[in-house]
Structure formats: structure tokens, C-alpha cells
Amino acid sequence: MSKPLANQEFAALRDYIYKKAGILFTEKNRFILETRIEEILSETGHKSVSEYMRALEDYKTAFTEWNRLMNKVTITETSFFRDKYQITAIEKNVLPEIVKRHEQSGSRQLRIWSAASSSGEEAYTMAILLAEQLKDAVGRWNISIFATDINENALAAVRAGVYSSYSLRNTTEDIKKKYFTKLPDDRYEIKDHLKKMVISEKCNLMDHNASRKYGRIDLILIRNVLIYFDLASKTKVLQMCYENLNEKGCLFLGHSETIFGITNSFKLVSFVNAFAYMK
């Protein structure tokens, strides 16, 4: 059981993380921060939170310790083909429309952004859906699927492209055979032609200038992320998404997330048991 943080310690850490990354730890998820900081103190040998905070502020150690902190507090659980209704909407409605628009305009450059992508299952799911849709023509398209995260361990997992059978629990056997190589230890490696579609990069969603490089995007997935942000941070991130989308580009949030009460910039688009927001 983790050691409870003193209120002053919790407030200092909470405010530091919020200022740098826009992620807000409330009393409801305070235990996560308490667990993670206890692990960090054990790893680094710092005797107190205040001592560790000094390491976060010291220019000699700030970069390393900020990465360590983010790698600890942004651990998320994900899987391939997560949320079947959203995936079906993307497969049957959104991607065909995007492909059609590009073909009509004579442009075969297609860009998708999996923001806060964790270990890459979402980004590679998009790659699989595109490969299934475009079939033999996929090689004639310039496809960029950006998998970004603030967690460097997660990005390393994207680049490796190796996943447990549990991560593929929603994946059909025929998709496994077509797009994965089975490894001896019940893990699966995504095939190279899909790896080439996915570009993994570190990105802090609160860094508006850094996020501008992901412009001219056809589809943004930022699912189950806004729940960690307060209203001001949500507003900033959604504005950034709007600016980076192509006209008629789509934004998907987590199935229980909404932009209601945050922004009126997008048009709501409904599908069967799913919805998205269009520019």
C-alpha cells in the first residue's frame, strides 16, 4: 500500500504536472500519484517529495526526471480494435469518405493522428483498417499515421511493434495472420509494411506550437484523454485539434467523452452507437 502524500506535497506535485502537461490529478485519482511517486522515490533514492521536486527543477536533472515522472503517471491500458462501435464507424463510414475526397481532389496523401497513443495499438489498428480498405492500392498512397505520446516508454513500444496476446484480444484470427508475425512467447509483431505507416513522436498536447506540425490531418483520435484535463486544458486541446484538421476532417473522443459545454466549433456526426466531431 502506498504512503499517503501530505496535502502540501500532493498540491506541489499536482500543480507542477498540471502546469507542464495540463494533466490534473484530483482527490479522486490522488492515489495514482501517491503510488507512482513512491515508486520514483524508491528508484531514485530521494528521501522526500520536496527533495525530488528540487531534482525536477534542477537543470542538470530536470529532463531525465520529468521523463521519468511522465512515464510513471501516464501509464494507460489499451488494445487493438478498442471500442467496436467507433472502430466500425471509422471502417465503414469515415475512412471511405476520406479516401473518396482525396481521390476526387487527386491527392493521395492521407494523414491520421493518434494523439496520446500509448503503446500504439490504436495507431496500428488504423493502419490495418487502411490496408484492408485500400488493398493492393495501398502502396500508391502516401499514408502517415502519427502516434504521439508524452510517455517515452510507450513510444518505444510503438517503434518495437510487439504486443501480447491480451492486447490482441479483440482481433480476429484472420487479421492476426495477415498483419502480425507470431513470436515464440505468445507475442505478436506487427508486419513491417504497417510499421512504415506509423510515425512515433513525443508530443505534449499542451504545447500548441509543437502540435502544429500535425496539421492537414484527416482524422484525429484523442480517445480517453480529456478525462485527465480540466476545462481550460480541454478547451486548449480541442482548439488545437480543430486548427489541425482538414476541412471535413473528423475527431473521435472516448465513447463517454463529449465537447458539450467546451466548444461549439465542431459539427456532431452520428453513426450506429457512435459519434464524432467534424470540422
What CATH number is given to the structural domain containing 145?
3.40.50.150
Residues 100 and 20 in one domain: no
Is residue 45 in a domain? yes
Output the pLDDT for position 2: 58
Residues 133 and 152 in one domain: yes
Q: Domain count of the chain?
A: 2
Residues 35 and 171 in one domain: no
Residues 29 and 62 in one domain: yes
Residues 47 and 126 in one domain: no
Output the pLDDT for position 75: 67
Output the pLDDT for position 1: 47
Is residue 198 in a domain? yes
Q: Mind listing the pLDDT tens digit of every residue in the chain (279 residues)?
A: 456 788 898 899 999 988 888 888 888 888 888 888 899 999 999 989 999 999 999 989 988 888 888 888 876 778 999 999 999 999 999 999 999 999 999 889 999 999 989 899 999 999 999 999 999 999 899 999 999 999 899 999 999 999 999 999 999 999 999 999 999 888 999 999 999 999 999 999 988 888 888 989 999 999 988 888 889 999 999 999 999 999 999 999 988 889 999 999 999 999 999 999 999
Residues 55 and 100 in one domain: no
Query: Residue 263 has which C-alpha cell?
Result: 466548444
Domain that holds residue 225: 84-278
Strands 267-271 and 274-278, bridge-based pairing: antiparallel
Residues 236 and 181 in one domain: yes
Residue that is last in its domain, among 40, 73, 106: 73
Residues 68 and 89 in one domain: no
Residues 154 and 256 in one domain: yes
Q: Would you say 106 and 207 are in contact if contact means Cβ atoms under 8 Å apart? A: no
Task: Determine phi and psi for 92, rounding to 5 degrees.
Answer: -90, -25
Is residue 78 in a domain? no
Residue that is last in its domain, among 16, 46, 73: 73
Residues 112 and 59 in one domain: no
Terminal Cα-to-Cα distance of the chain (whole angstroms): 46
Is residue 128 in a domain? yes
Is residue 228 in a domain? yes
Q: What is the dihedral of CA 141, 136, 196, 123, to 10 degrees?
A: 90
Task: Determine phi and psi for 214, rounding to 5 degrees.
Answer: -100, 45
How many whole angstroms separate alpha carbon 129 and alpha carbon 94? Answer: 11
Is residue 79 in a domain? no
| Number of residues that this document lists for the chain | 279
What are the DSSP calls for 15-32, one per residue?
A: HHHHHHH-B---GGGHHH
How many whole angstroms separate alpha carbon 225 and alpha carbon 259? Answer: 12
Is residue 37 in a domain? yes
Residues 16 and 89 in one domain: no
Residue that is last in its domain, among 48, 73, 98: 73
Residues 12 and 136 in one domain: no
* pTM exceeds 0.85 for this model: yes
Residue 261, sorted as left (phi over 0), alpha (psi -120 to 50) or beta, turns out to be left
Is residue 215 in a domain? yes
